[in-house]
Amino acid sequence: MNRALKDRVRNLLLIVPAILAISTLFGIYVYLIKESLPALKNVGAELFLSNQWYPVWDPPEFGMRNLIVNSILVTVLGSLLVLPIAYFIALYLHGYAYFREKYVIRRIFEYLSGIPSVIIAFVLLDFASPIFPKIGIYSPQNLLLALIGLFFLTIPIATILILESLDNVPRELEEASAALGANEFKTYTKVTSKAALPGIMNAIVLTANRIVGETIVVLLLGGGASIVPQKLTDPMKTLTAAIASEMSETARGSMHYHALFAAGFILIIFSTIFEIVSISILRRHKK
């Protein structure tokens, strides 16, 4: 086999999976839009503006406003809880931890990142949930418990991604900063973190997408009430929880069925927005 043929085969092996991945993603978008259209046409703006989600009533109500707000709320609160802690853990491991300490902690986090979300949810449901009624909180499953579950679910992978970004920064940048008189903390936060911004932004986007798309944790720990929680101990329900708990009980082709596909389409839009914001920030950073 000559060199030209080898290059052609190599390019083909790269192009074909890329085309398949893009086609699959495009097909998901098309299918979601197709299955969502009946709900968008028949329910209309009420789908997004109404807070009445009672799909099995007669007549049924398909207002997703509370579900959308809850999904945004969980994503924002979960990200604000996880990302700062993950960043400072990664910063410590990168700049202050001994080699052996860093190795052991990283291996622990890598192991924890592989624990299934259902295990985390089951443990919290069994051990943490019964504590709430004992301290006067009426709902044993609530927003706070869901956030705790999401924290344990996402903190390992967020920390590892940020740590890898920091470790990939050339050592010469940190040495130059130290030579100019900057202390270690200032070097790591101002110089290293800035150089690692693309990787850190990737960690932020992946963490936010992981939270907004998480199902079993918010389904088992959130409480399942389609209301906007007024405090952390109130129950709530997100778009993913609604899809997971109701899709198996809906008749194919029914309005409830199409409304759940509309919920899935909204989740895809959230993920797309996260990606666009991340790309915009990185482009501005390069300028």
Q: What is the pLDDT of residues 197-242, one digit of tens each?
A: 888 988 998 899 999 988 899 999 999 888 999 999 999 999 999 9
pLDDT of residue 84: 95
Task: Please determine, for residue 7, whether its predicted confidence score (pLDDT) is greater than 80.
Answer: no
- C-beta contacts of 36-39 below 8 A and 24+ residues apart: 36/258, 36/261, 36/262, 36/264, 36/265, 37/258, 38/255, 38/258, 39/255, 39/258, 39/259, 39/261, 39/262
Give the model's confidence band at 263: pLDDT under 50 very low, under 70 low, under 90 confident, else very high.
Answer: very high
pLDDT of residue 285: 64
Amino acid at position 161, single letter: L
| Minimum mean pLDDT range among 51-60, 111-120, 126-135, 139-148 | 51-60
Task: Please determine, for residue 283, whether its predicted confidence score (pLDDT) is greater than 80.
Answer: no
Average pLDDT over residues 42-57: 87
Give the model's confidence band at 16: pLDDT under 50 very low, under 70 low, under 90 confident, else very high.
Answer: confident
pLDDT in tens, 145-179: 999 999 999 999 999 999 999 999 888 888 888 88
Q: Model pTM?
A: 0.88
Cα 178 to Cα 97, 164, 192, 232, distances in angstroms: 18, 21, 12, 44
pLDDT of residue 178: 82
Amino acid at position 21, single letter: A
Highest mean pLDDT among 68-82, 174-188, 245-259: 68-82
pLDDT in tens, 58-115: 888 899 999 999 999 999 999 999 999 999 999 999 989 888 999 999 999 999 888 9
pLDDT of residue 286: 63
In angstroms, the CA 141 to CA 58 distance is: 28
Q: Which residue has 């990168």 as its token pair? A: 94
* CA atoms lying within 13 Å on the CB side of residue 287: 6
pLDDT of residue 287: 58
Other Cβ atoms closer than 10 A to 220: 23
Average pLDDT, the chain: 89
Give the model's confidence band at 1: pLDDT under 50 very low, under 70 low, under 90 confident, else very high.
Answer: low
